[in-house]
Structure 1
Amino acid sequence: MSVAAISFAVFAASQVGTPGPANMTLLATGARYGLRRALPFVFGVCLGKQLVIWPVGFGLMQLAETVPWAFEALKWGSALYIIWLAWRVANLRLTVDADAKAPGFAAGLLVHPLNPKAWAIITAGFTAFSAPGTPSFEATVTIALILLGVQLLFHPMWTYGGERIARLVAGKPEEKYLMWSLAALTVASVLFVLFAGGK
């Protein structure tokens, strides 16, 4: 009775490290504000997943079986929120304004609770990598720590990648195409999670 921690860590790295709504948001934030100014947002994104993990670990999925429409509404509401973020990204330009305020810690906290991909990863952790009968606390702590560690590795990398890309294209004709591409990838990743069940 335990969590297959190594297997889950590999799975988590493959999911957290690849493009998705959160990583596209981090990339765009890094491109607009740079890694240093975006760090509070990055840490908010990392900790925001914990707001999903703990309720799921202590019975939220059982509630989903009795009130399925609520989770369906959450799924589609979350998708609309991420698509709205993508629209904002599409219309951002990378010319850095020293007076512009970067999104903060609180804004970062909202990203994963409203991210369908995050819900899919977490649900897989409890259903595919936890042995039946594993105590809720043990499973939840293991999944929470693994995901936090993987996020602390990959999320700053995505944000810094955005900063480096911005240095190459800011103020150039390619800039608008980059921002529209990031927005399109964000929308595509949401639609993929919605219609492919997170696989």
Structure 2
Amino acid sequence: MSFVLSAVLVNLPLAFSPGPANLLCVGVAASKGFRRTLPFIGGLQVLPLVYSVLVAMGASAVLSRLEQLSDMIKLLGSLYMMWLAFRMWRAPRTPAQNEAEASPAVASGFWQGVAAQAANPKNILIVVTLYSVFAEQSQSLGAGLALAVIITLCNLASHLCWSLGASTLRASPRLARYQNRLSGGLLVVAVALLWL
């Protein structure tokens, strides 16, 4: 039980930090509303779970040796996030009155969520970091898989909270008018922080 509590307490700040996936949740929710963000959020959960299970099964030793692959993922992810920031920046400034009028500028489907996580280098780094922190406890497959579930559930909670917050702000026309631009700008900042 202490392992589970420790893992949750270490993972929550990482999951709730303003990274690319959380900022994309804000952008999608600001553009389309909370309910239409749910398929995107579902897609965001697939790869953290897959990566966590792979690391639990011993892939961390392989990943640590493939630094060039990590750099390539980081570069491709940064380019993808800049493209998404550009689309958010160009999204209409007036909020949709209902979900039928929602902006098509920000894709919100399940597969777009999977693609967003595939291009998110922070995701892989967090998984490897958490398994490094809990290396001793997660040596058994059961504990390693428990950590995979904890990582996924913390990510899910974070994405739901960020989306709900953005959807709540969307109700204010004054704030919603600039929310896509703010989200796009924050995504550019997140890309810059990945390279520092």
Normalising by the residue count of structure 1, what TM-score does the alignment of the two structures yield? Answer: 0.82
Instruction: Supply the AA of the counterpart residue of 2:100.
Output: A
Gap runs ≥5 in structure 2: none
Q: CA deviation at 1:173?
A: 8.7
Equivalent residue runs for 1:25-174 within 5 Å: 25-93=24-92, 94-95=95-96, 96=98, 98=100, 103-131=108-136, 134-135=139-140, 137-169=141-173
Q: Report if the CA contact (8 A) 2:39-2:110 is conserved.
A: yes
Q: Report if the CA contact (8 A) 1:26-1:42 is conserved.
A: yes
Q: What is the rounded CA distance, in whole Å, between the counterparts of 2:50 and 2:76 in structure 1?
A: 17
Q: Deviations over 1:116-156 (max 9, x none)?
A: 22122111111112217813x23431221111221232211
Moved over 6 A (4+): none
Q: What is the rounded CA distance, in whole Å, between the counterparts of 1:183 and 1:165 in structure 2?
A: 16
- 1:184 corresponds to which residue? 185
| Cα RMSD, aligned residues only | 2.6
Instruction: Supply the AA of the counterpart residue of 1:115.
Output: N
Q: What is the rounded CA distance, in whole Å, between the counterparts of 1:32 and 1:119 in structure 2?
A: 27
Q: Deviations over 1:14-73 (max 9, x none)?
A: 111121111110011111111112211111112332132223333333223443212211
Q: What is the rounded CA distance, in whole Å, between the counterparts of 2:130 and 2:161 in structure 1?
A: 23
Q: What is the rounded CA distance, in whole Å, between the counterparts of 1:151 and 1:132 in structure 2?
A: 21
Q: CA deviation at 1:194?
A: 3.2
1:65–1:23 distance in 2 versus 1, CA, 3 Å: closer
> Percent identity of the aligned residues?
24
Gap runs ≥5 in structure 1: none
Find the residue that maps to 1:103 and give its secondary structure: coil
Q: CA deviation at 1:83?
A: 1.9
